């Protein structure tokens, strides 16, 4: 029937590992230069562009290795899958970072956010309410689940666009 030399699972794992590894490298650079508490736009832009590039390369690689055929569903599966694999790797790194490398990271981050809110003109009641809300999302389970869900959503959107552009279905 179909002679697939490269399965979508192989592509998902390989590109997910690459994207996760590059993301960890970027986080280590941020930590080394002292930007790990800052929310600089450049790191977000770089990360988003890396996700786009990883999905496009993964989908193109799958299509190339499958005789030029690619269904929309395969493209979405690859994009969502590699983003989930990548997010699991990043979450694992973040847990190691917050528990062993920089155990006081969350407290430092919350203090930095509180300072930013004060500098933006928020009053003490607003800051306390915002910080109480932030404390609810401080736990590793909630933040991990949210990270995986957001990563899957971003992967879905990007891979849906990529799949719509690159799809080439087999004639039945």
Return the domain boundaries, the chain.
8-103+144-166
- pLDDT tens sequence across 5-56: 578 999 999 999 999 999 999 999 999 998 888 878 999 999 999 999 999 9
Q: What is the pTM of this model?
A: 0.86
Q: Using one digit for the tens of pLDDT, what is the confidence trace for 65-82?
A: 998 999 999 999 999 999
Residue 102 has pLDDT above 60, yes or no: yes
State the angle between helix axes of 41-64 and 140-166 in degrees (0 to 180), rounded to the nearest 10.
Answer: 50
């Amino acid at each position: 029937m179909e002679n697939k030399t490269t399965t979508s699972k192989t592509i998902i794992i390989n590109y997910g590992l690459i994207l996760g590894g590059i993301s960890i490298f970027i986080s280590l650079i941020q930590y080394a230069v002292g930007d790990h508490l800052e929310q600089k736009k450049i790191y977000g832009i770089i990360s988003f562009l890396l996700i786009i590039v990883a999905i496009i390369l993964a989908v193109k690689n799958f299509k190339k290795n499958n005789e030029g055929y690619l269904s929309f569903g395969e493209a979405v599966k690859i994009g969502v899958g590699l983003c989930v694999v990548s997010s699991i790797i990043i979450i694992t790194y973040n847990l190691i970072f917050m528990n062993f490398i920089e155990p006081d990271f969350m407290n430092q981050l919350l203090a930095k956010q509180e300072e930013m809110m004060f500098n933006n003109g928020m009053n003490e009641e607003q800051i306390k309410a915002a910080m109480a809300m932030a404390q609810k999302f401080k736990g590793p389970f909630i933040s991990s689940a949210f990270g995986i869900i957001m990563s899957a959503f971003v992967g879905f959107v990007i891979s849906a666009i990529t799949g719509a552009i690159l799809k080439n279905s087999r004639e039945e």
